Amino acid sequence: MDRRGFLSTLALGSQIAQRTEAPARAHVLRFVNRKTGGHPYRYREGGKRPNIFLITLDMVSPDHYHPSRTMQNALETPTLRALFRDSVTFSNAFCASPLCAPARAALATGRYTYITANGERAHDGHETILRPTDVIFQEYLKASGYVTKHAGKGHLGTQKFMDAFDENDNAWDRWAPPIFDDETYLVHLARLGVKRQRYRKEISGLQQDRATRGVSFGGWIEQEDGRPFPMEAQYTHYLVGRAIEKLDAALAESKGERPVYLQLDIFDPHQPFSIPDGFADREKALRAAFRLPESYERVRARNWKPAPDDPKIYSFYSKNWGLYHPETVLDYRVANALQMEVIDRALARFMAALKQRGLYEDSIIVFTSDHGEMNGRRALVDKGVYLFPDVLRVPLAVKAPGVAPRVVEETVSHLDIAPTLLGAARLEPMERLDGRPLPLDGKPLGDRDLLFECGWHVGVNFACAIQRQSAEGHHLYTYNCSSEVDELYDLASTDAVNLAQDPAHKKLHGEMVRRMGATLERDPRWIGYWHSFRLDHYEDLPRRGSGDAQMFRPI
């Protein structure tokens, strides 16, 4: 974060400091690691700093929150709606990568990440966790006096969570929740007299023969003995209870003299779904309200043959998920929405806990998800190594004391969360941050060069994308290194189609290609994409002499 960015972020910190009697004092140089002088930062002393609560969900479809999507109107999510009403909400918020580990790494560091794969499927040699020498924004908070606590998913390696939170932290470091091997959860079930879960109704895809059972998406659960599985025993509800316990521990430790940072990383609504008892009426209502996406019907009409204007990676994923029956897609969409309602009921407990402890009004609360979800579009669910609007969009709401609720339509990123929260805590890291403060003060941001990338998952597709927000609209351009097919999407569309081959968008396509080229060329972190991109788009880019394809000059 540059000096100008830090000073603009202090507006939020100043608003909070004005609520206290202590005047702000001069900046003091400090270090995350005091012995080595590692990760220096400036701290502006004086005044009370806010408690901060970051809540993330895992893989949320825009259908469940975005104002342009009619599906969200059918959901019963009063807790989230109330939080959004109290917050600055961002209708064009994006992650940096549509996979768990890369997305979480960018959010935590405030920097574009070198991680391009989740550890479970990465080839040997891939970086899938943060290095010990990296620093995440939570470490700055801890070093400056915050009492830091965490509950839920980690997926960035255990070292950084040990560095940033208390030594009793137990973030699970894998993509799926430890429903059957989290000993504290199993103790919770035993206290409730509830046996482990099994599926009462399970949703499954098919293999390519369209007969053999394929991927399980989870579904509706019951106890192992067939009894109903109660809401309070479901894992998200347990996790919220765990977060409340950690909150109380943090408050006891702080004694009202130190601010608290608590992070709650919920796995739901990521599949495999685990819908407990009590949602029969809601299931009927959602089934009556939901329809299949038009893009799914188009895939079905061509009998799953690849579309000529799509990169191969989409067809590859459709084979993986095997959604050959429309009933399966409807089941998935209903279960996905019900899982959001399960989350909402659990978060009602957390918000009530904040209010009961007098923390809600004067704290910063940030709500988001790690990445998006296809939710049946193009016969796909989940996410993958492709850069389609729905897997890049994320919900983002920031409730801050003294900041009036409103809706912001300008483009923002997960990269912006770190500089925003650090600024509110009056901290200025002296290392590079790629994000910039969120516009909570209402000042316009304008367009920005925001890059997205992906690499290795179910398939392999190293790709990068860039967005542009202008008077002509809001668009996303994607370059796939392993495909001759470019992608161009209208980000205002609810079921986007590829416009890259449309003659009517030839000029826009060319402008986005040049914008991508300029972005890749000026930052040595993107040199791998740049060398490939300039060969594929040689005729579309400005000529700059002979170039340096052999890289004789050092970067």
Query: 481-491, pLDDT tens digit by residue?
Result: 989 999 999 99
Asked whether residue 441 is domain-assigned, the answer is no
CA distances from 332 to 216, 218, 519 (A): 11, 9, 38
What is the enclosing helix (H) or strand (E) of 33? strand 27-33
pLDDT of residue 1: 53
Domain of 197, in residue numbers: 3-52+65-120+129-429
Which residue, 407, 429, 451, sits at the end of a domain? Answer: 429
The C-alpha atoms of residue 376 and residue 329 are separated, in whole angstroms, by 6
Asked whether residue 290 is domain-assigned, the answer is yes
Asked whether residue 448 is domain-assigned, the answer is no
Asked whether residue 249 is domain-assigned, the answer is yes
Asked whether residue 86 is domain-assigned, the answer is yes
Check which CATH number belongs to the domain holding 375 and give it: 3.40.720.10
On whether both 286 and 338 belong to a single domain, the answer is yes
pLDDT of residue 19: 46
On whether both 470 and 392 belong to a single domain, the answer is no
Which residue, 409, 429, 449, sits at the end of a domain? Answer: 429
Q: Under DSSP, is residue 153 helix (H, G, I), strand (E, B) or coil?
A: strand
Vertex 445: Cα angle to 422 and 415 (nearest 5): 40
Average pLDDT, the chain: 92
pLDDT of residue 545: 59
Q: Report the amino acid identity of residue 46.
A: G
pLDDT of residue 21: 41
On whether both 226 and 351 belong to a single domain, the answer is yes
Residue pLDDT, tens place only, 414-442: 999 999 999 999 999 999 999 999 999 88
State which residues of the chain have pLDDT below 50. Answer: 16-23
On whether both 147 and 278 belong to a single domain, the answer is yes
On whether both 136 and 217 belong to a single domain, the answer is yes
The C-alpha atoms of residue 275 and residue 222 are separated, in whole angstroms, by 9
Give the Cβ contact number of residue 358 at 10 Å.
Answer: 9
Residue pLDDT, tens place only, 314-369: 999 999 999 999 999 999 999 999 999 999 999 999 999 999 999 999 999 999 99
454 Rama class: left (phi>0) / alpha (psi -120 to 50) / beta: beta
On whether both 317 and 169 belong to a single domain, the answer is yes
On whether both 148 and 233 belong to a single domain, the answer is yes
Which residue, 387, 409, 429, sits at the end of a domain? Answer: 429
Asked whether residue 226 is domain-assigned, the answer is yes
The C-alpha atoms of residue 508 and residue 486 are separated, in whole angstroms, by 13
- Return the residue matching tokens 């991109």: 533
On whether both 506 and 393 belong to a single domain, the answer is no
Q: Under DSSP, is residue 506 helix (H, G, I), strand (E, B) or coil?
A: helix
On whether both 69 and 202 belong to a single domain, the answer is yes
pLDDT of residue 20: 38
Q: What DSSP assignment string belongs to 196-235?
A: PEEEEEEEEEE-TTSSSEEEEEEEEEEETTS-B--GGGSH
pLDDT of residue 2: 53
Asked whether residue 453 is domain-assigned, the answer is no
- The structural domain count of the chain equals 2
pLDDT of residue 22: 44
On whether both 42 and 150 belong to a single domain, the answer is yes
pLDDT of residue 47: 86
Asked whether residue 314 is domain-assigned, the answer is yes
On whether both 343 and 480 belong to a single domain, the answer is no
The C-alpha atoms of residue 310 and residue 500 are separated, in whole angstroms, by 10
pLDDT of residue 471: 86
On whether both 256 and 365 belong to a single domain, the answer is yes
Contacts 24+ apart (CB under 8 A), 141-145: 141/52, 141/261, 141/421, 141/422, 141/425, 141/427, 142/261, 143/30, 143/31, 143/32, 143/34, 143/39, 143/41, 144/30, 144/41, 144/43, 144/425, 144/427, 145/49, 145/258, 145/259
